[in-house]
Amino acid sequence: MRKFSIGLLYFLVVAACSNSVTKTEELTAKKGKGPETDAQTQILELAHISLEVHGTWSVKKGIDSVAFSIEGKPAGGVDGLGYSESIESTVPNHSEIISKEELPDTSIRAIKVITKTDILEGDSTEETHILFLLEEKNVIYDLHFYSDMISSEEMLRMASSARQI
């Protein structure tokens, strides 16, 4: 009887630990039909916002961040940042801002910023950042993409799906 109890206890501990690892390392996404397409979407929920991403993308969720990959290649993500009045302070180090515009059709105030990175080493990459400014929550969410991986239309669709929680 004692061996049975120890075995049962071991099984319960292992089962509980395996579930907690899955919840912290991978996002349990809600699946649904996208508003303008038949493609499946994933609804991502962070501390203060939710938004939709394409259902075929791989998604890894952190504490208040998400990383996207498409067919195994990094494509972008979302990062929660401390609030700042200066847009320049929210872009990655060694980046040059190429363009900046406020997006009109979003439920959260959003600014689209296109940057060129690694300009010091001569090998530059263009990134698109859509910054959601939640001043009352003291946070900015940086929805960012490697510009050659995702179309402008998909970026804007994702931005327009963002909702404050």
Question: Domain of 75: which CATH number?
Answer: 3.40.1000.10
Which residue, 77, 119, 121, 67, is CA-closest to 98?
119
- The answer as to whether 18 is a domain residue is no
133 backbone dihedrals φ, ψ, rounded to 5°: -100, 110
- The answer as to whether 37 is a domain residue is yes
Residue type, 132: F
- The answer as to whether 157 is a domain residue is yes
Residue 13 pLDDT > 60, yes or no? Answer: no
Region of 143 please: left (phi>0), alpha (psi -120 to 50) or beta: beta
- The answer as to whether 91 is a domain residue is yes
- The answer as to whether 135 is a domain residue is yes
Strands 125-134 and 110-117: antiparallel
**Residue numbers of the domain that contains 69:** 28-164
Average pLDDT over the chain, rounded to an integer: 78
- The answer as to whether 4 is a domain residue is no
Q: How many domains does the chain have?
A: 1
Full-model pTM: 0.74
Residue 120 pLDDT > 70, yes or no? Answer: no
- The answer as to whether 103 is a domain residue is yes
Q: Give the count of beta carbons closer than 10 Å to the beta carbon of residue 100.
A: 15
Task: For residue 39, name the pLDDT band (cuts at 50, 70, 90).
Answer: low
- The answer as to whether 121 is a domain residue is yes
pLDDT at 67: 95
